[in-house]
Amino acid sequence: MLWNAYKSETFDELVSRDGLPRPAAKPISDYIEALGADQLRDRQRAATAEIRAEGITFVVSDQHGNLDREWPFDVIPRVMSAGEWARIDRGLQQRLAGLNAFIGDLYGDQRVVKDGVFPREVLATSRFFLPSCVDMRPKFGVWAHICGSDLVRDADGVVFVLEDNLRVPSGVSYMLENRSISKRVFPELFMDQRIEPVDGYSSRLYALLVSLAPDGVLQPKVVLLTPGVGNSAYFEHCYLAQQMGVELVEGSDLVVRDDRVYMRTIGGLEAVDVIYRRIGDDFLDPDAFNPASVIGCRGLIRAWRAGNVALVNAPGAGVADDKLVYSYVPDLIRYYLGEDAILPNVPTFRLFDERQRRHVLADLRSFVVKPANESGGYGVVVGSKASAAELEECRAAVEADPRNFIAQPIVQLSTAPTLCEGGIEPRHLDLRPFILSGLQSYVTRGGLTRVALRKGSLVVNSSQGGGSKDTFIVDGTGGL
Amino acid sequence: MLLCGQAENVFWLGRSLERAEDLARAILAYEEIRLDLPGQRAPGWQRLAACAGVAPAEAEGMEPATFVARVILDRHSPFSLLGALHAARENLRRARSLFPAECWHTLNPLYLRLGGLGGDVPPADLRANLERVVAACRELGGHIATGMLRDEGYAFFRMGVLLERSDMMLRVVTIVADTLIPGDQGMPFENVRWIGLLKSVGAYGTYRHRYHAATDFGSALQLLLFEPKFPRSLTYALDEVRDHLAVLPRHEDPRSALDACRPACTVERAAFGGLANQLLERLAHASSVLEETYFSVALPVPERSSAPHAHVKRPAAAGEPALDLLRG
């Protein structure tokens, strides 16, 4: 029996504590059981070959330069019930409504500061608050049109939001590719089960982008702006541009004249109305931000401010993608929407607060310390796994710049069965669903499940040796 | 209209794919000639290396193993076969949406397969892989011929293919013509070389069909340079590029540069080397005029039918601090 030896130390997504499959996962567990270990390995090999042939890669940088690595994928899916997902879906829509109201308020009247809900000092020291966005009112009041929020589940099975990626979140193409591979390697499973499809994303994204065009433009020209081939998500940029049938452009393809954005075509300049930009704010426009940027386009921000082009996500949306701001999100939801947050935050200590800082520094081993404004898992220190020297370094960094760090208790991330060298073993994972916000909002069915492939590791970032799984939202059989 | 950057990608995709195919053909045919020519008469690899673009000093006395490493399997070299496939793959990655989906599924595994070969690959395996390159490139050509929209992207792709094909053909003809020792004229070995040449540019079957048994300089050149119905001839290439240019804007300069590439109707054997070099230079010039015209231009702003939109901006409310909004 494949599952007999399987035992997780914490909450497992597929197998309950008594060793039986969870109801939603039962048919899939049975299927894998029937398949047997050898067959399962064959399917894993087929999946890996498929990824290679398809060229599904991401770029990692190391001391030797950029490497185009194949996307790591584990064939055993992570399964959630449609009932549970419906709640998460509502929770994420609520969260984004709150966050977008917050961003608009910060660049507008700043009621939230005047009312004492959000401290002025935190705003004043925010790295991603952009004065050049003040007084802008993007369509539908939405700034963060595309968000990837990371969800984790603790030992008791409670789902928390760990962070909101509102700048240039990536990963959705891998969610779509994971599904396409699953369908090829487990066709039987899809015939027998009601697994919710995920592939409506690209057309929803395109519809969103079109809806954001300046008023009066009937057939807007939409482009995807990429930093270029060296970017870690370049595969995704190509993939999404292709799926939506829009041009993939680099900064050098664009030019701004009289506050209008054009792209250089062989027939002359052609106006651009909507830019899905996958370049961070800093590098978007050397005239407005980092003057050394060579990947952006001069004058873009002026054109945006003049209302002649939509930038997606809007510049400045990153102000809410700050782990210190994150700690206020439940309060912000209550403040703007008058509702309690459906999805809780992981308890978060604000280290600029002296009492909280002392509490954390007294027992660093029990916390994860994170820089407020990094992504990709860079700079995160997991207290229980860090060496004494690393802890000291962390302590010094926090004391030098407490505003720039937060601490959270170590969440024992849930696990799912994963095909490893020695057989099927539990590995920790998280989940990144994607939320589209415009006139209406939409949450992907499931998301990108990222899995820490090393035993016991809690770091799931693909740039740090993480892998991925397909995420099945299955209809039918009840909750957990 | 097609982005300048995308036109450039597509043009170089065409050139790189054609280059990979032509190099593979040339190497295969060259190997065959070598096997047919005894001892000293066998041409060394240096000529083919020079034809691929290796500097003469390095090409001189090149060993077979070095040839495989430098001219076939060097991923980072702009003139090697794998380098050409690498460039083609990068270009296709960005221009994937313009091409039928099968193209990627043909090119990517081919690239990975060739990239996985070591320098110590046995000759028979190398041969099989080169044949695979030719077959895969033909397969790609088939996907494109039957599945691609006849738009500007197609025009630039085809122009890349045709200019590269003409360039490679002239280079291969030149090296074969050079290796003909004057005393060999009319000897069996000359025949071997001409057959090899025709094979290496994919023209042997057509030649047999058209001119029957004997192979000679005059009729081979007639086919390769002047036959308007043969899709691998220079004249055919120039005609087709001309047709593509006709539907593109601002085509006057590239068209005159292209027209200068047409050779006179007859070619003297003795004058061939000079003519080939002249044609190569003119082709290179035509290509650079094309690149300057379409890939890197300063363009005027078009007239807009609708007024600029200013609905989003909100005037600053009284009492709010005046910010220098544009400085960030």
Tens of pLDDT along A198-229?
989 999 999 999 999 999 999 999 999 999 88
What is the predicted pLDDT for the residue at B301?
A: 54
Average pLDDT, chain B: 82
Q: Give the pLDDT mean for B266-276.
A: 77
Lowest mean pLDDT among A456-470, B75-89, B133-147: A456-470
DSSP calls for B152-214: HHHHHHHHHHHHHHHHHHHHHHHHHHHH--GGGTTSHHHHHHHHHHHHHTT-HHHHHHHH-S-
> Which residues on chain B are in Cβ contact (under 8 Å) with A241?
97
Residue A58 in this model has a pLDDT that exceeds 90: no
Residue B325 in this model has a pLDDT that exceeds 50: no
Q: Is A284 helix (H, G, I), strand (E, B) or coil?
A: helix
Work out the percent of chain B whose per-residue pLDDT is above 70. 82
Q: How far apart are CA B5 and CA A249, in angstroms?
A: 8
Q: Find all residues with CB under 8 Å of B75, minimum gap 6, and list them.
A: B82, B83, B86, B115
Q: Find all residues with CB under 8 Å of B174, minimum gap 6, and list them.
A: B51, B273, B276, B277, B280
Q: Give the pLDDT mean for B205-234.
A: 83
Q: Which residue has the higher pLDDT, A385 or A259?
A: A259
Q: Using N-to-C axis directions, what is the helix angle for A201-211 and A172-185, rounded to 10°?
A: 150
Written as six digits, the tokens of B56 are 């003469």
**Whole-prediction pTM value?**
0.88
Q: How far apart are CA A218 and CA A210, in angstroms?
A: 9
pLDDT category at B184 given cuts 50, 70, 90 is: low
Phi/psi of residue B137, nearest 5 degrees: -65, -40
Written as six digits, the tokens of A68 are 């185009």
Written as six digits, the tokens of A233 are 């998500």
- Cβ–Cβ under 8 Å, residues B157 and B144: yes
Beta strands, E only, A176-246: 222-225
Residue A376 in this model has a pLDDT that exceeds 70: no
Residue B313 in this model has a pLDDT that exceeds 70: no
Instruction: Identify the CA nearest to B115 among candidates B70, B71, B82.
Output: B82
Chain B's closest residue to A244, CA to CA, is B97
> Which residues on chain B are in Cβ contact (under 8 Å) with A52?
112
Phi/psi of residue A467, nearest 5 degrees: -120, -165
Strands A466-474 and A73-81, sheet pairing: parallel
- Cβ–Cβ under 8 Å, residues A307 and B313: yes
B2, B111, B309: best to mutate for the A interface, most A CBs within 10 A: B309
* Cβ pair A245:B313 closer than 8 A: no
Does B290 contact chain A (CB < 8 Å)?
no
A265, A266, A273: best to mutate for the B interface, most B CBs within 10 A: A266
DSSP A138: -
Lowest mean pLDDT among A15-29, A376-390, B95-109: A376-390
pLDDT category at B328 given cuts 50, 70, 90 is: very low
Residue A1 in this model has a pLDDT that exceeds 60: no
Distance from CA of A171 to the nearest CA of B (A): 18
Written as six digits, the tokens of A316 are 């400045």
End-to-end CA distance of chain B: 34
Tens of pLDDT along B71-88?
999 988 888 999 999 999
Q: How far apart are CA B328 and CA B324, in angstroms?
A: 7
Tens of pLDDT along A378-402?
788 989 889 999 999 999 999 999 9
> Which residues on chain B are in Cβ contact (under 8 Å) with A269?
299-302
A265, A293, A297, A319: best to mutate for the B interface, most B CBs within 10 A: A265
Work out the percent of chain A whose per-residue pLDDT is above 70. 97
Q: Which residue has the higher pLDDT, A135 or A462?
A: A135
Q: Give the pLDDT mean for A116-142.
A: 94
Most confident of A345-359, A464-478, B187-201: A345-359
Residue B300 in this model has a pLDDT that exceeds 60: no
Q: How far apart are CA B33 and CA B195, in angstroms?
A: 8
User: Where would I find the H helices in A55-171?
Assistant: 82-106, 111-114, 120-124
* Cβ pair A131:B310 closer than 8 A: no
Interface of B with A in 132-191 (CB under 8 A): 152
pLDDT category at B297 given cuts 50, 70, 90 is: low
Residue A340 in this model has a pLDDT that exceeds 90: yes
Distance from CA of A18 to the nearest CA of B (A): 46
> Which residues on chain A are in Cβ contact (under 8 Å) with B152?
266
> Which residues on chain A are in Cβ contact (under 8 Å) with B90?
229
* Cβ pair B299:A268 closer than 8 A: yes
Q: How far apart are CA A411 and CA A454, in angstroms?
A: 17
Tens of pLDDT along A442-455?
999 999 999 999 99
Does B327 contact chain A (CB < 8 Å)?
yes
Q: How far apart are CA A370 and CA A406, in angstroms?
A: 6
Instruction: Identify the CA nearest to A417 among candidates A108, A136, A76, A92.
Output: A76
Tens of pLDDT along A274-319?
999 999 999 999 998 988 888 999 999 999 999 999 999 999 999 9
Q: Is the dihedral of CA B8, B9, B12, B13 positive or negative?
A: negative
Q: Give the pLDDT mean for B119-133.
A: 91
How many other CB atoms are found less than 10 A from the CB of residue A341?
18
* Cβ pair B323:A264 closer than 8 A: no
Chain B's closest residue to A238, CA to CA, is B94
Average pLDDT, chain A: 92
* Cβ pair B323:A250 closer than 8 A: no
What is the predicted pLDDT for the residue at B326?
A: 28
Lowest mean pLDDT among A18-27, A119-128, A342-351, A372-381: A372-381
Q: How far apart are CA B111 and CA A308, in angstroms?
A: 43
What is the predicted pLDDT for the residue at B185?
A: 55
Counting one residue from chain A and one from chain B, the pairs whose CB atoms sit within 8 A come to 134
User: Which of B1, B93, B104 is facing A265, going by the closest CB pair?
Assistant: B1
Please state whether the peptide bond connecting residue B129 to the residue before it is cis, i.e. omega within 30 degrees of 0: no
Does B325 contact chain A (CB < 8 Å)?
yes
Residue A464 in this model has a pLDDT that exceeds 80: no
Does B318 contact chain A (CB < 8 Å)?
no
